[in-house]
Amino acid sequence: MPYAIVPPYLLRRVAAAGDHYPTAAAAARRSLRAGAPSEPAPVRPFDPSQSYALPDSPSQPDRRISDAGGTTRLPGRLVRREGERATGDEAVDDAYDGLGDTHRLFDQVYGRDSIDGRGMPLEASVHYGRDYDNAFWDGARMVFGDGDGEVFAGFANSLTVIGHELSHGVVEHTARLRYEYQSGALNEHVADVFGSLVEQYARGQSAETASWLVGAEVFTDAVEGRALRSMLEPGTAYDDDVLGRDPQPAHFDDFIDTDEDNGGVHLNSGIPNRAFALAARAAGGFAWEGVGRVWYDVLVSGELAENAKFAAFADLTIAAAVRRYGVGSAIAAAVRSGWETVGVPVAAAEPAR
């Protein structure tokens, strides 16, 4: 199930909880069987020599929302296009608004014209499947399930989920981090970073006041949990008698070696997530500005290998912070401190470039 917001280990816990959540258990089993309908679509290779910023040409989103009508046939019936009025269908209108918020962050902060940097239409399908317990990016569009109503609510009402999944598309068109093991965890991490920044930018939240939660809206009130993940405090997002405790590690010493979940991509992403959140809070102000710009610089630099490991990514962020803000700058120091706090080894000195 490529690029899905709910990891398979959590769906398996729900699937085994039939005594407590019979509807949710059946829905989770169907969701696990269904997966995503296709592998990500092929994209053009990233060309670091080509400009992806359009400072003199304001970008406008081109949103297209379709209704799958409870089927797994995509895209479904087109129900709202760019500029059209709200439909009254909450999932349709939430998806439309969330796509706009995501486009706005990348356009106004990073000068990026949509996912591919070239004005790619933003497409989404809602009401996918029957009680489908997930949302995913399939390489061409966002797809949202309605949840089962016992454990999971609808997924289109979470702005961090929308921003996260569309950010997988940005990764596909830039660094193309391989979706396995450490590079896959970095792929998930980058999607969490920009998913969180979409929400913070839309709500005007500082790094200090932001919740740093991903998917805070997807659980029903029956679940003892705040969200799917906490970037600031990995391992604390949920602790439920039935679903168990959030298993994300917060320190590199606790890195989980596993072949499941593409080598633990949703698990180990907690380590770089905490590094980013700590760096952003240490730098202060708005995270999409200082530290967010550093992460975006790395993403589009052409220097990030598809199979990059945590240490290489960390060194690139430190170097990018120095290039943008200077040797000895508060932001470069905050980035370095974030990685050191979570135990990821970094180069001994800041490169003076």
User: Rounded to an integer, what distance in angstroms lies between the CA atom of residue 204 and that of residue 282?
Assistant: 18
User: Rounded to an integer, what distance in angstroms lies between the CA atom of residue 204 and that of residue 55?
Assistant: 22
Residues 60, 157, single domain; the answer is yes
**H helices within the chain, ranges in order?**
8-15, 22-34, 90-108, 159-172, 181-203, 261-268, 270-283, 290-299, 310-325, 330-341
In a domain, 185, yes or no: no
**What torsion, rounded to 10 degrees, do the Cα atoms 338, 343, 345, 346 define?**
10
Residues 235, 309, single domain; the answer is yes
* Backbone CA torsion sign across 102, 98, 201, 304: negative
Number of domains composing the chain: 2
In a domain, 189, yes or no: no
Q: What are phi and psi of 165, to 5 degrees?
A: -70, -40
Q: How far apart are the first and last CA of the chain?
A: 40
Residues 163, 32, single domain; the answer is yes
Return the CATH number at 16. Answer: 3.10.170.10
pLDDT of residue 76: 97
User: Rounded to an integer, what distance in angstroms lies between the CA atom of residue 41 and that of residue 294?
Assistant: 28
pLDDT of residue 35: 60
pLDDT of residue 271: 98
**Domain end call among 146, 180, 214:** 180
Return the CATH number at 294. Answer: 1.10.390.10
The CB density around residue 117, as the number of other CB atoms within 10 Å, is 22
Q: Which SS3 state, helix, strand or coil, does residue 68 take?
A: coil
Would you state the structure tokens that stand for residue 137, as one six-digit string? 């990016």
Residues 220, 174, single domain; the answer is no
In a domain, 331, yes or no: yes
Which range of residues forms the domain containing residue 92?
Answer: 8-180
**What is the residue type of 124?**
A
Residues 241, 311, single domain; the answer is yes
In a domain, 76, yes or no: yes
pLDDT of residue 348: 75
Residues 43, 89, single domain; the answer is yes
Q: Are 214 and 231 in contact (CB under 8 A)?
A: yes
Q: What string of pLDDT tens digits covers the 353 residues of the chain?
A: 468 999 999 999 999 999 999 999 999 999 888 765 444 444 444 344 443 333 444 579 999 999 999 999 999 999 999 999 999 999 999 999 999 999 999 999 999 999 999 999 999 999 999 999 999 999 999 999 999 999 999 999 999 999 999 999 999 999 999 999 999 999 999 999 999 999 999 999 999 999 999 999 999 999 999 999 999 999 999 999 999 999 999 999 999 999 999 999 999 999 999 999 999 999 999 999 999 999 999 999 999 999 999 999 999 999 999 999 999 999 999 999 999 999 999 987 655 44
Return the active site residues. Answer: 165, 266
In a domain, 188, yes or no: no
User: Rounded to an integer, what distance in angstroms lies between the CA atom of residue 11 and that of residue 26?
Assistant: 11
Give the residue among 158, 138, 58 at the shortest CA–CA distance from 98. 158
Give the residue among 242, 235, 294, 288 at the shortest CA–CA distance from 266. 235
In a domain, 195, yes or no: no
Residues 289, 208, single domain; the answer is yes
Q: Which SS3 state, helix, strand or coil, does residue 81 take?
A: strand
In a domain, 353, yes or no: no
pLDDT of residue 3: 86
Q: Are 106 and 170 in contact (CB under 8 A)?
A: yes
Residues 157, 263, single domain; the answer is no
Residues 209, 100, single domain; the answer is no
In a domain, 272, yes or no: yes
pLDDT of residue 191: 98
Residues 136, 208, single domain; the answer is no
Residues 99, 229, single domain; the answer is no
**What is the residue type of 220?**
T
Give the residue among 335, 339, 245, 239 at the shortest CA–CA distance from 291. 335
Residues 154, 255, single domain; the answer is no
User: Rounded to an integer, what distance in angstroms lies between the CA atom of residue 245 and that of residue 190?
Assistant: 23
Query: Which DSSP category does 162 fall into?
Result: H
